[in-house]
Amino acid sequence: MHADSVAEKALATTEARLRALLEAAVDAIVSINERGIIEIFNAAAERMFGYTAKEAVGKNVSMLMPTPHREEHDDYIARYLFSGQKKIIGIGREVVGLRKNGTTFPMELSVAEALVGDERIFVGILRDITDRKIAEHALQASKEKLETAVAELQAKNDEIRQMSQQLWLAAKLASVGELAASIAHELNNPLATVCLRVESVLMRTPPDDPRRRALEIIDQEARRMGNLVTNLLQFCRRGAGQSSTVDVSEELTKAVELIEHHLRKRLINVVQEFEPNMPTLFADRQKLRQVFLNLLTNASDAMPEGGTLTLRLLNGKMDNGQDALIIEFVDTGIGIPPEHLDKAMEPFFTTKEEGKGTGLGLAICRRIIQEHHGSIQLSSELGRGTTVRVALPIRHGTNVRQLREKM
Ligand SMILES: Nc1ncnc2c1ncn2[C@@H]1O[C@H](COP(=O)(O)OP(=O)(O)OP(=O)(O)O)[C@@H](O)[C@H]1O
Ligand SMILES: [Mg+2]
C-alpha cells in the first residue's frame, strides 16, 4: 500500500475514534476558535442546549449564554488573548447556560486551550448542574427549617422556664396572702382582750393619776393595731366581688391611713386635693381598696428619699364621653423610663429587687379597673415623677337607685 494512503487511513481511523469519543461523552463538549466561533458541538451539547450541531457550528458561542455574559464574551476572549489574564481557562466554575427555547440553567464549565497548527482553540466541557443546585437548595432550605425549629424550641423552652418561675411567684404570693390573713385572724383575739383590759383599768384610774397618760397611749395604739388587722383581713379576702355604693374619697383616705406609718417613716408628704361633693360609685369596695393600696405602695417605693404624693379626685369624662370620676396618684419619685412604660402593667414586670416586688400590683389594678369599665393610664418623666390616672365611669341610674335603697 502507498505510504500516503496508509497515513490517510490511520488519520481517518483516529478521527473516527475521536468523533466516537466526542459523541459518547456524557458531558457537553464545545470548542471555539479565537473569534468565539463554535467548531465542535457534541451530542451531549445538543441535548443540553437544544440546538443541533448543524445549527450551532459556525455561530458565535455567545448564543449559549444569557445577557449580560453574551455581550461580554467576545471581550473576554479578546482580553485573554491580549493580556493572558485567565478568568475561566484552567479554573472551571459555575455559569449560566441558555437553551434554544430561551430557558436558562446552571452549569459547571471548565475550559482548556490548545494550539492546532498556529491557531489557538478553546475546548469547553459543560455539565448541567440543575439537579445538584436543586438538591443544594433543598438542603439549605431544610437546614434553615431545622434552625428555625431549634430556635422555636429554644424560645418555647425559655417561655416554659419563665412561666414556671411566674407560677412559683404567684403561688408564693397566694400563700403569703393566706399567711397574712391567718396571722391577722389570730391577732384579733389577743388584741380584743388587750383593748378590753385597758379600758377597764382606765375606767378605774382617776383622771389625775400620772399613769393614766401611759394607759391612754396603750389604748390608742391597741385600737390602731386592731384597725390594721381588720384592714389586712379585708385586703386579703378573696372570692367573688360584691358591689355597693362607695364613697371614693373615704376609701382613699382609709387606704392612706393604712400605710400612714410607712409613709411617714419614708418622709413622704401626702396631699389630698379632692373636689367637694363627688358622686358615689357603684363598685366593689374591696377591690378598689386593693387598687388604691397597690398604687400608694408603688408611689412610696418610687420615693426612697421622700417626696410628695398628691391624691386628686375630680370630675371628668371617659373617652366615650360618659361622666367619670378621675383619681390621680401623682408622685415626685424616680419615674419610669419610656421603654418600660408599656410593660409596667404587664403581669410580673418588676424592676424591684428579688423578693421585693412580684410585678403583679399594676396588673391586678388594671384588671380590677377593667372590671369596673374604667381605664388606667401611666405617664411619667424620668427623675421627676409618675402620675397614675384612674377613670371610673359613673352610672347615674345605678348610683341613684343604690342611694335610695340605702335611705
Ligand atoms: N409610681 C411609680 N414610679 C416609678 N415606677 C413605678 C411606679 N409604679 C410602678 N412602677 C414600675 O412598674 C413596675 C411594676 O409595678 P407593679 O406594681 O406591677 O409591680 P411591683 O411594684 O414591682 O411589684 P408588686 O406590686 O407585685 O409588689 C415596678 O417594678 C416599677 O418599676
Ligand atoms: Mg407594685
Q: Residue holding cell 496508509?
A: 6
Specify whether the CB–CB gap between 330 and 310 falls below 8 A.
Answer: yes
In total, the chain counts a number of residues equal to: 407
Residue 229 pLDDT > 80, yes or no? no
Closest-CA residue, ligand 1 atom 19, reads: 359
Domains and CATH numbers, the chain: 3-128 (3.30.450.20), 130-238 (1.10.287.130), 241-406 (3.30.565.10)
DSSP 395: -
Measure 191 CA to ligand 2 centroid, in angstroms: 30
What's the confidence (pLDDT) of residue 49? 95
What's the confidence (pLDDT) of residue 2? 66
What's the confidence (pLDDT) of residue 56? 95
Give the DSSP H or E segment for 226: helix 212-236
CA distances from 35 to 78, 92, 119, 161 (A): 8, 21, 11, 70
What's the confidence (pLDDT) of residue 143? 92
Is residue 230 packed enough to be buried (19+ CB in 10 Å), middle (13-18) or exposed (0-12)? Answer: middle
Measure 242 CA to ligand 1 centroid, in angstroms: 27
Which protein residues are within 6 Å of ligand 1, measured from CB? Answer: 294, 298-299, 302, 331, 333-336, 344, 349-352, 357-363, 386
Measure 7 CA to ligand 2 centroid, in angstroms: 105
What whole-number distance in Å separates Cα of residue 247 and Cα of residue 282? 9
Measure 356 CA to ligand 2 centroid, in angstroms: 9
What's the confidence (pLDDT) of residue 403? 43
What whole-number distance in Å separates Cα of residue 236 and Cα of residue 286? 9
Closest-CA residue, ligand 1 atom 31, reads: 351
What whole-number distance in Å separates Cα of residue 28 and Cα of residue 348? 68
Which ligand 1 atom is at minimum distance from the Cα of 173?
A: 26
Ligand closest to 170 (CA) is 1
Beta strands in 352-397, from DSSP E residues, in sequence order? 375-381, 385-393
Position 286, amino acid: Q
220: confidence class by pLDDT, cuts 50, 70, 90:
confident
What's the confidence (pLDDT) of residue 383? 94
Give the DSSP H or E segment for 328: strand 323-331
Most confidently predicted of 15-29, 124-138, 330-344? 330-344
Ligand closest to 344 (CA) is 1
Which ligand 1 atom is at minimum distance from the Cα of 388?
A: 1
Assigned C-alpha cell, 227? 384597725
What's the confidence (pLDDT) of residue 112? 85
Measure 349 CA to ligand 2 centroid, in angstroms: 10
What whole-number distance in Å separates Cα of residue 14 and Cα of residue 263? 109
Position 160, amino acid: I
Specify whether the CB–CB gap between 10 and 20 falls below 8 A.
Answer: no
For the chain, give percent helix, strand, coil, nearest 5: 50, 25, 25
Pocket perturbation via mutation, ligand 1, pick of 270, 298, 354 by most ligand atoms within 8 A of CB:
298
407: confidence class by pLDDT, cuts 50, 70, 90:
very low
What whole-number distance in Å separates Cα of residue 82 and Cα of residue 61? 19
404: confidence class by pLDDT, cuts 50, 70, 90:
very low
What's the confidence (pLDDT) of residue 399? 46
What's the confidence (pLDDT) of residue 400? 42
Pocket perturbation via mutation, ligand 1, pick of 311, 350, 351, 382 by most ligand atoms within 8 A of CB:
350
DSSP string, 20-63: HHHHH-SSEEEEEETT-BEEEE-HHHHHHHS--HHHHTTSBGGG
Letter string b/e over residues 54-93, b meaning 16 or more CB atoms within 10 A of that residue's CB: eebeeeebbbbbbeeeeeebeebbeebeeeeeeeebeeee
Q: Residue holding cell 390573713?
A: 181
Q: What is the pLDDT of residues 307-317, one digit of tens each?
A: 999 999 999 99
Closest-CA residue, ligand 1 atom 7, reads: 298
